[in-house]
Structure 1
Amino acid sequence: MWFWARTTRRNLLADVRCAAREKPGSVLVTALIRRHGVLLSHFDTWNLVLNDIPVHTPSTTDTEVDQTFEAIRKFTDWKWHEPKPPQLKRIIEDTWELVLDTTLWSPTDHWQATVPEVRLTDVVDAVVAEPRRRSVARRRPGAEVK
């Protein structure tokens, strides 16, 4: 099961509104789960991995990033839909462990968590996401409608 482990209120509300609109009846679950039962990862860098883009630490210099991408550019014959050549695969996969290194992340970053199971005793709250109701414009008595 996937969770936000840390996110902003703004991001969470946007996700809930989207779920309410796109998948009515979605449930927002708040759970307290012991750290040892959770795999934490950095949301943004995880998405880099999913797109075959190498991950860099916040302290990586522009020169180091450029060197990595120069090494990748040498594989000009490779197409994204094809299996990666072993050398290219190694360049990208060697950075993946950074996705799980929580010491590199800012407390304001978006952290995601996955757990193999959620027990009922872990659940603190559950709310059904409902679409916003349209507000009704109110006019003072006798006001002209335009």
Structure 2
Amino acid sequence: MATKLSTIGDGALWFWAKIRRQDLVDLCRQSAGEVLLTCMVPRDRAMLSHFGDWHSVLNESPLAPEIPGESDEELEARLNRMFDDFEDRLRAAGARDLGRPHWPEDLRAEVEQGWESILEPGNYGRFGSWQATKHELRADDVVGAVRLER
């Protein structure tokens, strides 16, 4: 965030930047009593990332970008092969239960190489929920609020 945003700060607030309506409705149904804010934020104050691919970073997993024309079944099979192969190589190196800083350099580099791509909307595939991360939320960023009820 420090290199991507025009703002500074220690905080990191998370927002939906793009989500299918039905997915948002489903999430809201699970959040009775919460308040849903609608915000308008200048692009230079929000770092976009692909929601699903962000979990590759959180899980210290390799990132597998989609291949144009690939079916859901082909994508799933390729992901399973890739993750199994990566896990096998981690185990063979004796590093499976170690944190990423202690992995062999080639495995660490393989995982880290994809991280920048999750910050570029042009790389997002068909599973397009985007998240935004900001240092702060200003009152004038909020354009609507609604209490969620069942």
Scaled by the length of structure 1, what TM-score is found? 0.73
Residue 97 of structure 1 and its aligned partner are, at CA, apart by: 1.1
* SS of equivalent residue, structure 1 residue 74: helix
Residue 49 (structure 2) pairs with residue 41 (structure 1): yes
What's the counterpart of residue 102 of structure 1? 121
Q: Which runs of 5+ in 1 are unaligned?
A: 133-146
How large is the Cα RMSD of the aligned pairs?
Answer: 2.5
Q: How far 1:119 sits from its partner (Å)?
A: 1.3
SS of 1:19 mapped into structure 2: coil
Q: How many residues align?
A: 125
The higher radius of gyration belongs to: 1
Q: Quick one: percent identity of the two aligned structures?
A: 32
1:124 deviates by: 0.8
Which position in structure 2 is the counterpart of 1:29?
37
Where in structure 2 are there 5+ consecutive unaligned residues? 1-12
Tell me by how many angstroms 1:72 deviates. 5.0
Matches within 5 A, 1:131-142: 132=150
Q: Quick one: structure 1 residues 32 and 94, their matched pair in 2 at CA, closer, same or farther if it must change by over 3 Å?
A: same
Q: Secondary structure at the match of 1:58?
A: coil
The residue identity in structure 2 corresponding to 1:8 is R
Q: Name the residue aligned to 1:121.
A: 140
Q: Distance in 1 between matches of 2:83 and 2:21?
A: 35
Letter in 2 for 1:112: Q
TM-score normalized with structure 2 length: 0.72
The C-alpha deviation readout for 1:16-56, integer Å capped at 9, x for no partner, is 11111xxx3x1100011011111000000001211111112
Amino acid at match of 2:89: K
